[in-house]
Structure 1
Amino acid sequence: MTGSPLTATMREVGEQPSKLRSFLSVPVVRATSGSIFVGAGDSYAAALATFYLSGGKYLAFDPYAIFTIPSAAAGRDVFFISVSGRTSSNISAARKLRGVARRRIAITANQDGPLAEEVDDIILLPYGSKARVAGTLSFTLALLASMKVALGDFSCNFSRAYSAAKVAQKKAAISDHGTTYILGNNAVHAIAVYGAAKVYEILGYRADAEQLEEFSHMELFSLKASDSVIIFSAFDPARIGARLHAALRSRGYVASLLDPHSPNTVETIFYYAFLSQLAPLAKAQAKGLSEPYLAGARKKLQVSDSMIYQM
């Protein structure tokens, strides 16, 4: 597998602690009160995490949603998270908010792309865009940038978070034949959204991200013996995750409880992000895959590209 696309992805995953540590000290503009973070796909997960980590001080929107209610952005700064800088819905939303938002800022790795041309300012991510890969470093850099914009200065031991995730990923049971439900509360629900995306992209398996509380109200009633439930148990003072884990396991269902490894909130977020990458990659490696599923899903990629990107 030396030199395979999957190996390259795993190498990029392993490089994250050093690259994130370098970017942590780079100054960025700060969000003003009431700012909005907008993103699609992985970037939506980054926007959603930022909303929660700010304590609701900032909002998170899907780009098509904000396009349909531009008045929500009136007088606010709007940060568009798009690594490629070519996402059609972001470009359309940025154009729609011209003269409505106070400022439109792109968080992107593409300073010459159409989104960068449309907005008022950019925060440049130190990432060289790669085609047909499951977003790993691109996501964590965008997440870190959004958190810096929203929260200001903070500390994070990325290496410690990564090492802990390498150990914990062995406990994350991804279903081979059913659906993998990934649950989390507060900001780790946003990381669960990202985690489900990595199961889709790397393995092509069924997955679903849900709020920890909501699962017992809804998805639980479609749970099958072939499914698995992964619980990110941070931001869970009532220990709902532990109770659910015990209840499921005692009745013969497959469930994994993944506790946070550190009291540092930022480190916890990146721990779960790394775990969300490492678990499906480990399964892909064990199955002998040479590339992430999405790289070979040509018909689906054609549909995806036609829907997502400004060509």
Structure 2
Amino acid sequence: MIKSGFLLSLFIFIGTIYADAQINYGTTGLMNMPTADMQRDKTFMAGGNWLNHHATVPRWWYDTWNYYINITIFPWLEAGYLCMGHKAVPTDYGNRSGYWVPSTYGKFINQDRSFHFRLRVWKEGWWKEWTPQIVLGANDVIGDSWNGGSLSKPSELNYGNGFLNRYYLAITKHFYFENVGTLGAHLSWIYSNRFDNKLNNPAMGANFRFHLKDSDSWVHKAINGVNLMAEVVPGYTDVKEDLTFDPDGAKYQVNLGMEYSFWKDYINAIVELNRCKYFSGGLVFKIHLK
């Protein structure tokens, strides 16, 4: 834990004009933590990721994948659609009733689909130069998610919807260092009413995107594509293959990551080290329609 805290401090005090794509949700943010950053107006994103099971919500006790589309409809409104791979499991897992054909056990045969929204309610610097940006957001908001989705009652294990459900308030402030880069400081409050992943907790993080002085040096050009990220977020409960959940609530974890932008931010590669050791990664493609 001391080592993780040191690494986080290093990230905070050591490059954001471009906003980052959240690896788990296909929306703007760090890795698992939402931020108040917004994409450029009329930005269309499409991406996909391979996810270590430690980086996902409790339902996925196995490594999986996702893909998504996302558009910033107005400078203050972002909407996304995400699909995440499901494996078929034996019907006796967790004493749940199931319908998978035995020959499909352990194979990806279905997808979870979810909608995600973000609304900017206050723009950075609107009143005073020091005022931060504020965003309200919701992940996986269809299917009675406010009441915990289909998993709100453990006695009714109907794995139908709301797996990624959460609501949040995010605050972001940027600090610019001439010819060096941009530091983004982020704070959010995350809420979820799901019985397997109850949240009512704060999260904090930072990212640093390099903007070294223009020169003919290929080293400068290479470094200017780097965006470093770190976050402290409510941890996802470890889940055994019998689908039993730890009822004690969220535990905090430290995640580190990096995004690298190619071709003027049109192509972005993202990697995450969940809990500083479990690797996930993917690609994001951006098109600016305006």
TM-score (norm 2): 0.27
More helix by share: 1
TM-score (norm 1): 0.25
More strand by share: 2
